[in-house]
Structure 1
Amino acid sequence: MITHIVLFKLKDRSPESVERTAQVLRDMEGKIEELLSIEVGIDVLHSERSYDIALTTRFASMEALQAYQVHPVHQKVIEHMATARESSVSADYES
């Protein structure tokens, strides 16, 4: 199993903008066969080092993660995130 985690810091950090972007991520659920699970969390601390949104996804294999990366639904999310995010970091690991 591969776990893929991405943290997003948004340009517009208003609650409405954060929720709108979190919903864009949640909307992938059930639309990408390779995506075994998805969890989208919104930061509650709002500290200086906080990121606004955490995305945790799980895949059966590296091949499944690679298929997710190029899936049309995910590509639409990438388009949204390119305009909404200030920065992001990620980690991928076997679990």
Structure 2
Amino acid sequence: MRETLEAVRDVDRALDELGSEIETEIRDLEEHVRKRVAELREGISRLIESERARMMREMEQEVNSHAERLRSESRTRIKALTEAFERRSGQIAEELVRAILG
């Protein structure tokens, strides 16, 4: 009976030690998971920031390209209007001279 009681105590102690080891392993694993999740979040944040910066550069290039196109079109229109104005001014001047000279 005494031997059985000792054996039960030995098994109980062994189970307690095993339980403690398991709890330690679980805590270590939880800490490892927390660190890994933090690393992944940091990596994701860097990727998001990098992608945001890339998209901003791309949008800036598109805006600059569009602005240059608009400037070019404006210069062309202004040149055409100026030429038309000069032609019409010349015509009006000729008509005035003819009207005055009779």
Whether these two folds match at TM > 0.5 is: no
Instruction: Give me the TM-score of the superposition, normalised by structure 1.
Output: 0.20
- Structure number with the higher helix fraction is 2
- Structure number with the higher strand fraction is 1
Instruction: Give me the TM-score of the superposition, normalised by structure 2.
Output: 0.19
